[in-house]
Amino acid sequence: MANEKLASIPSGFANDNALVSAVRNTYLSVLERREALGLSNPGTFENINREVQRDVFLTNFMFTGLRAEWNKPISNNPIFQLSHQLSMGAQGMSPYTFSALYGSSKVFLQGTMESDGSLVARSNYRWNDSLITKTNAQIQSGQSMLSIENDLSGKDFTASLKGMNPSIIEGGLKGIFIASYLQSVTPGLALGLEAVWQRVAMNSSPEALLSYGARYKGSDWIASLQMQTEGPQGSSMSSSYWRKLTDKVSVGTDLSLQFAPGLSGAGGLMGGSLQKEGSASAGAKYEFRASTFRAQVDSKGRLSCLLEKTILPAVRVTFAGEMDHLKQQAKVGVGVSVEAMSEDLMEQAEKGGVQAPSVPF
C-alpha cells in the first residue's frame, strides 16, 4: 500500500524536490531488498516461544478433578457452537460453565458464564488482511477487567498495541499499556522488543519495563531468547528450545532466570545483595493415530503428564496427573468431552461441502 502511494507521486514533483526524491528512492530500495530476502511473518512478540509453551508444555491443558463437557455445533459456516461444562473437585474451575461461540471470516465472538456469576466476553474483528482488533472483558468476584488489543501483521513483521483497564476519568491516564514489535531480519532470525507502561492509581508513580526478544527458526528446530530490563521486581531472562524429532514426536525445553535486589545489609554493600532464582522445564509431545500424550518435568520436582484419547469420532477422554516430589503431593484429573453434531453437519463435514471460515482467533 505504501509502495503504491510512493509510486503514485508525480515523477516531475519527485525529480524537482531533492528531499522527496531521496526519501522515495531509499524507501523503494529497502522494499526491494526486503522482498528479495523472502522474509515471512514471525508471529507476535507475546507468542515468541509458542511452540514450547502452547503446544508441548501442559500449561494450557492441565486440570484436576472430574470434568465433563458437552459441545453442540449448530453451524459450520459461520461457526456457531454451544458448550456446557460440569466439573467437580477442580481447582479454580466453576461447577458449571456455559459458553457460546460464533465465528466468521471477519468476526469472532465468545461468551462464557459460570455458576458463581463470573462472565467473560471476547470479541475479535478483522478490519482487513493485516489488522485485527481484540477485546476481552471479565467480571469476576466483584472485580472487572477490560483489555483492547490491535495486531498489525505485515509480510515480515507484527506490531501490537494493548491496553488493560485504561482510564482517564480520575484526572490522568492509568492502566497497563503494552506495545511490541517483532521483525524478521533473515529467513530464520527475528528480532523484537516490548515496552510496558503501567500506573495502578493516580497517587502512585508510573512504572516502565522494556524487554528484548530473539527467535531463530531452523529446518526442524526453533530457539528463542527473551530479556527483561531491570524494574521494580528486578530483571529476568528466559530461553526456550523446540525440536521436531519425527512427524509424531516433538520436544521442548525452557530455562528462566530472575534477578531481584535483596535487602540492604543482607550480604551486599551498596543497596543489598542480588537474589537469583532459576527454573528449568522439559517436555515432550507424542501424537498417535487417535491420541495425544504430553509429559513435562521441571527443576522444582514436579512431574506432569496428560493423555487425550479419542474413543469415538464424537467422544474424547482426557487423563491428567501431576506429582510434586518436594511437597509430597499428587493431583489427578479425568475428563470426558462429547460433541453432539447433527446428522446434516456430519454429512457436510464428510463430503467437504461446507468449508469452515478463516476465523480471526
The whole-number pLDDT of residue 268 equals 42
Closest of 104, 152, 108, 150 to residue 130, by C-alpha: 152
Contact 126, 360 (CB under 8 A): yes
Q: Is pLDDT at 250 greater than 70 in this prediction?
A: yes
pLDDT digits (tens, 9 = 90+) for 273-315: 678 889 999 999 999 999 999 999 999 999 999 999 999 888 9
In the chain, what percentage of residues exceed pLDDT 90? 65
pLDDT digits (tens, 9 = 90+) for 123-163: 999 999 999 999 999 998 778 999 999 999 999 999 999 99
Average pLDDT estimate for 186-191:
95
Label each residue of the chain as H, E or C.
CHHHHHHCCCHHHHHHCHHHHHHHHHHHHHHHHHHHHCCCCCCCCCCCCHHHHHHHCCCCCCCCEEEEEEEEEEEECCEEEEEEEEEECCCCCCCEEEEEEEECCCEEEEEEEECCCCEEEEEEEECCCCEEEEEEEEEECCEEEEEEEEEEECCCEEEEEEEEEEECCCCCCEEEEEEEEEEECCCCEEEEEEEEEEECCCCCCCEEEEEEEEEEECCCEEEEEEEEEEECCEEEEEEEEEEECCCCEEEEEEEEEEEEECCCCCCCCCCCCEEEEEEEEEEEEEECCCEEEEEEEECCCEEEEEEEEEEECCEEEEEEEEEECCCCEEEEEEEEEEECCCHHHHHHHHHCCCCCCCCCC
Phi-psi map region of 43: left, alpha, beta (phi>0 left; psi -120 to 50 alpha): left
Q: Which residues pair with 277 in a beta bridge?
A: 258
Q: Is pLDDT at 15 greater than 60 in this prediction?
A: no
Lowest-pLDDT choice from 85-99, 254-268, 307-321: 254-268
Q: What are phi and psi of 53, to 5 degrees?
A: -75, -35
Q: Is pLDDT at 227 greater than 90 in this prediction?
A: yes
pTM: 0.84
Q: Is pLDDT at 267 greater than 50 in this prediction?
A: no
The whole-number pLDDT of residue 77 equals 86
Closest of 146, 213, 148, 163 to residue 185, by C-alpha: 213
pLDDT digits (tens, 9 = 90+) for 309-346: 999 888 999 999 999 989 999 999 999 999 988 777 77
The whole-number pLDDT of residue 269 equals 40
The whole-number pLDDT of residue 338 equals 96
Q: What is the mean pLDDT of the chain?
A: 88
**pLDDT classification of 5: cutoffs 50, 70, 90:** very low
